Amino acid sequence: MNEGACILEEGIALRASDIDMVYLTGYGFPPFRGGPMFYADTVGLAKVLASIEKFQKGYMGEVWKPAPLLARLAKEGKRFNG
């Protein structure tokens, strides 16, 4: 989800649903979850961001840097998909 936000922000993918399709058809993401970006929207971006920030405080925390797009959308109460 965090890496997906980086991919969107960098313009590598146009839509969050594009990332979901790649993960569903190529990486074996569980179809019933709808893809990582859809799942993040379902759970809520604020919760996803809170989890990443919690991981940041733990072991190897320096590798857990929230994507700016994720942080902004979470703070605005928005979603990846509309």
Report how many domains make up the chain: 1
Q: What is the pLDDT of residue 14?
A: 96
Domain that holds residue 57: 2-76
In a domain, 44, yes or no: yes
How far is C-alpha 14 from the geometric centre of its chain's CA atoms? 14
The predicted pLDDT at position 82 comes to 77
Residue 32 domain-assigned (yes or no): yes
> Which CATH number does the domain housing residue 9 bear?
1.10.1040.50
Rounded average pLDDT over 13-36:
94
Residue 72 lies in a domain: yes
pTM for the full model?
A: 0.88
Is 81 inside any structural domain? no
pLDDT of residue 61 exceeding 80, the answer is yes
